[in-house]
């Protein structure tokens, strides 16, 4: 659990620097918030569709439990989504990296 959300500084294959600047991944908080809201709405709609007589406290408990259980996954996923907004795939990057390593 202590390594969840830990990222490499550089890609081991192509040498891409994953952090553009200090605090780059703070922007992932916005993505994490959006994922949390999507999880809440999905759980709430699902509970109300399949269990229409569920009481409010049961709904809160179910949504809170699921949010706590999935929080490490959502944290890692938000960092991945945030990074993919700013980094693009370069199919020739590994060749450039190998050329730079030889020089």
40-81 per-position pLDDT tens digit: 999 999 999 999 999 999 999 999 999 999 998 898 899 889
Residue 77: domain span:
25-91
Does the pLDDT of residue 19 top 80, yes or no? no
Q: Say what the pLDDT of residue 66 is.
A: 94
CA dist 55 and 41 (Å) reads 16
Position 34 in a domain: yes
First to last CA, the chain: 39
* Cα-based torsion angle of the residue sequence 40, 38, 69, 19 in order, rounded to the nearest 10 degrees: -150
Domain count, the chain: 1
Decide if pLDDT at 38 tops 70: yes
Residue 103 lies in a domain: no
In a domain, 11, yes or no: no
Residue appearing with tokens 């202590």: 2
pLDDT band of 39, cuts 50, 70, 90: very high
């Amino acid at each position: 659990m202590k390594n969840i959300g830990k990222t490499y500084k550089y890609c081991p294959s192509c040498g891409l620097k994953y952090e553009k600047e200090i605090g780059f991944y703070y922007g992932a908080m916005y993505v994490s918030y959006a994922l949390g809201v999507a999880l809440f709405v999905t759980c709430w709609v699902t509970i109300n569709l399949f269990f229409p007589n569920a009481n409010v406290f049961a709904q809160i408990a179910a949504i809170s439990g699921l949010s706590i259980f999935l929080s490490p996954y959502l944290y890692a996923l938000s960092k991945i989504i945030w990074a993919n907004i700013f980094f693009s795939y370069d199919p020739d990057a590994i060749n450039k990296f190998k050329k730079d390593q030889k020089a």
